[in-house]
Amino acid sequence: MTAVVAVRRAEPGDAPQMARVHVLSWRQTYRGLVPDPVLDDAGLLEARERFWTGALTDERWSSNRAAVAERDGTVIGIAMSGPPLDAGAAWSSQLHLIYVDAAHHGSGAGPAPLDAVLDPHESAAWWVAEHNPRAHAFMRKHGFAPDGHSRTEDDVRAVRWIRRTGRS
Protein backbone atom coordinates (compact mmCIF):
# COMPACT_ATOMS: atom_id res chain seq x y z
CA MET A 1 0.00 0.00 0.00
CA THR A 2 1.28 3.46 -0.92
CA ALA A 3 1.64 5.96 1.91
CA VAL A 4 -0.69 8.94 1.88
CA VAL A 5 0.65 12.35 0.95
CA ALA A 6 0.59 14.67 3.97
CA VAL A 7 0.75 18.44 3.53
CA ARG A 8 1.76 20.96 6.14
CA ARG A 9 3.17 24.43 6.54
CA ALA A 10 6.90 24.52 5.81
CA GLU A 11 9.23 25.08 8.77
CA PRO A 12 12.86 26.29 8.84
CA GLY A 13 14.08 22.75 9.51
CA ASP A 14 12.57 21.70 6.16
CA ALA A 15 15.00 23.89 4.18
CA PRO A 16 17.44 21.05 3.27
CA GLN A 17 14.68 18.74 1.98
CA MET A 18 12.92 21.61 0.23
CA ALA A 19 16.19 22.54 -1.47
CA ARG A 20 16.65 18.92 -2.57
CA VAL A 21 13.17 18.82 -4.16
CA HIS A 22 13.68 22.26 -5.70
CA VAL A 23 16.97 21.32 -7.39
CA LEU A 24 15.79 17.85 -8.40
CA SER A 25 12.64 19.31 -9.95
CA TRP A 26 14.59 21.99 -11.81
CA ARG A 27 16.84 19.29 -13.27
CA GLN A 28 13.85 17.10 -14.20
CA THR A 29 11.81 19.95 -15.66
CA TYR A 30 14.22 22.42 -17.21
CA ARG A 31 16.88 20.20 -18.80
CA GLY A 32 17.11 21.49 -22.37
CA LEU A 33 15.56 24.85 -21.48
CA VAL A 34 18.17 26.04 -18.99
CA PRO A 35 21.87 25.56 -19.80
CA ASP A 36 23.32 22.36 -18.30
CA PRO A 37 26.09 24.24 -16.43
CA VAL A 38 23.39 26.11 -14.47
CA LEU A 39 21.49 22.92 -13.57
CA ASP A 40 24.66 20.96 -12.84
CA ASP A 41 26.35 23.68 -10.77
CA ALA A 42 27.90 22.01 -7.71
CA GLY A 43 26.74 24.91 -5.52
CA LEU A 44 23.10 24.85 -6.64
CA LEU A 45 21.82 22.70 -3.79
CA GLU A 46 23.58 24.85 -1.17
CA ALA A 47 22.24 28.03 -2.80
CA ARG A 48 18.67 26.70 -2.75
CA GLU A 49 19.06 25.68 0.90
CA ARG A 50 20.15 29.24 1.72
CA PHE A 51 17.17 30.52 -0.25
CA TRP A 52 14.72 28.32 1.67
CA THR A 53 16.29 29.11 5.03
CA GLY A 54 15.84 32.80 4.30
CA ALA A 55 12.33 32.38 2.87
CA LEU A 56 11.25 30.56 6.03
CA THR A 57 12.99 32.75 8.63
CA ASP A 58 13.50 36.29 7.28
CA GLU A 59 10.85 38.80 8.34
CA ARG A 60 10.82 40.22 4.78
CA TRP A 61 9.08 37.02 3.63
CA SER A 62 6.66 36.69 6.55
CA SER A 63 3.61 37.35 4.35
CA ASN A 64 4.49 34.40 2.10
CA ARG A 65 2.91 30.99 2.59
CA ALA A 66 5.09 27.91 2.07
CA ALA A 67 4.03 24.27 2.28
CA VAL A 68 5.57 20.86 1.87
CA ALA A 69 4.03 17.60 0.71
CA GLU A 70 5.50 14.56 2.45
CA ARG A 71 5.32 10.83 2.04
CA ASP A 72 6.75 8.69 4.85
CA GLY A 73 8.43 11.77 6.34
CA THR A 74 10.25 12.69 3.13
CA VAL A 75 9.47 15.97 1.36
CA ILE A 76 8.32 15.23 -2.20
CA GLY A 77 6.64 18.52 -3.12
CA ILE A 78 6.95 22.21 -2.28
CA ALA A 79 4.92 25.35 -2.94
CA MET A 80 5.11 29.02 -1.99
CA SER A 81 2.85 32.01 -2.56
CA GLY A 82 2.80 35.60 -1.44
CA PRO A 83 1.41 39.04 -2.19
CA PRO A 84 1.13 40.04 -5.88
CA LEU A 85 4.37 41.19 -7.46
CA ASP A 86 2.88 43.03 -10.42
CA ALA A 87 1.96 46.68 -9.88
CA GLY A 88 -1.79 47.20 -10.09
CA ALA A 89 -2.46 43.45 -9.96
CA ALA A 90 -6.10 42.42 -10.23
CA TRP A 91 -5.41 39.23 -8.26
CA SER A 92 -4.86 38.73 -4.56
CA SER A 93 -1.83 36.39 -4.53
CA GLN A 94 1.23 35.37 -6.48
CA LEU A 95 2.15 31.70 -6.76
CA HIS A 96 5.94 31.87 -6.64
CA LEU A 97 6.60 28.19 -7.18
CA ILE A 98 5.27 24.68 -7.02
CA TYR A 99 7.52 21.67 -7.60
CA VAL A 100 7.02 17.95 -7.14
CA ASP A 101 9.66 15.27 -7.60
CA ALA A 102 8.75 13.59 -10.93
CA ALA A 103 8.69 10.19 -9.22
CA HIS A 104 5.59 11.44 -7.37
CA HIS A 105 3.67 13.10 -10.21
CA GLY A 106 0.04 12.06 -10.12
CA SER A 107 0.16 11.22 -6.40
CA GLY A 108 -1.62 14.31 -5.08
CA ALA A 109 1.69 15.89 -4.11
CA GLY A 110 0.93 18.89 -6.37
CA PRO A 111 -2.70 19.83 -5.68
CA ALA A 112 -2.36 19.50 -1.91
CA PRO A 113 0.47 22.04 -1.45
CA LEU A 114 -1.16 24.33 -4.02
CA ASP A 115 -4.30 24.40 -1.86
CA ALA A 116 -2.15 24.92 1.24
CA VAL A 117 -0.60 28.13 -0.15
CA LEU A 118 -3.60 29.42 -2.15
CA ASP A 119 -7.22 29.20 -1.14
CA PRO A 120 -8.95 27.26 -3.97
CA HIS A 121 -11.16 30.29 -4.73
CA GLU A 122 -8.44 32.95 -4.40
CA SER A 123 -7.43 34.92 -7.47
CA ALA A 124 -3.74 34.47 -8.25
CA ALA A 125 -1.00 34.84 -10.86
CA TRP A 126 1.86 32.50 -11.72
CA TRP A 127 4.75 32.84 -14.16
CA VAL A 128 5.74 29.55 -15.80
CA ALA A 129 8.17 28.53 -18.53
CA GLU A 130 6.53 28.69 -21.94
CA HIS A 131 7.77 25.19 -22.76
CA ASN A 132 6.47 23.35 -19.70
CA PRO A 133 3.36 21.49 -20.93
CA ARG A 134 2.98 19.44 -17.76
CA ALA A 135 2.80 22.60 -15.62
CA HIS A 136 0.40 24.20 -18.11
CA ALA A 137 -1.96 21.20 -17.90
CA PHE A 138 -1.74 21.20 -14.09
CA MET A 139 -2.53 24.89 -13.81
CA ARG A 140 -5.36 24.72 -16.35
CA LYS A 141 -6.89 21.93 -14.26
CA HIS A 142 -6.71 24.24 -11.23
CA GLY A 143 -8.45 27.20 -12.85
CA PHE A 144 -5.50 29.15 -14.26
CA ALA A 145 -5.27 30.42 -17.86
CA PRO A 146 -2.57 32.36 -19.72
CA ASP A 147 -3.36 36.06 -19.92
CA GLY A 148 -1.15 36.94 -22.89
CA HIS A 149 1.75 38.46 -20.93
CA SER A 150 5.26 37.05 -21.21
CA ARG A 151 8.79 37.86 -20.14
CA THR A 152 12.23 36.40 -20.69
CA GLU A 153 14.73 35.83 -17.89
CA ASP A 154 18.04 34.02 -18.32
CA ASP A 155 16.99 33.07 -21.88
CA VAL A 156 13.83 31.30 -20.66
CA ARG A 157 10.53 32.72 -21.87
CA ALA A 158 7.80 32.60 -19.23
CA VAL A 159 4.09 33.24 -19.61
CA ARG A 160 1.80 34.60 -16.92
CA TRP A 161 -1.15 32.46 -15.88
CA ILE A 162 -4.05 33.97 -13.94
CA ARG A 163 -6.81 32.46 -11.86
CA ARG A 164 -9.33 35.26 -11.65
CA THR A 165 -12.15 33.90 -9.53
CA GLY A 166 -10.89 30.55 -8.30
CA ARG A 167 -11.55 27.09 -9.64
CA SER A 168 -14.45 26.45 -11.94
Q: Bridge partners of 81?
A: 65, 95
* Residue pLDDT tens, the chain, 168 long: 467 899 999 999 999 999 999 999 999 999 998 899 999 999 999 999 999 999 999 999 999 999 999 999 999 999 999 999 888 899 999 999 999 999 999 888 889 999 999 998 899 999 999 999 999 999 999 999 999 999 998 788 999 999 987 554
Q: Superfamily for 6-121?
A: Gcn5-related N-acetyltransferase (GNAT) (3.40.630.30)
Q: How far is CA 65 from the centre of its chain?
A: 11
Grouping H, G, I as helix, E, B as strand and the rest as coil, residue 161 is strand
Q: Domain ranges in the chain?
A: 6-121
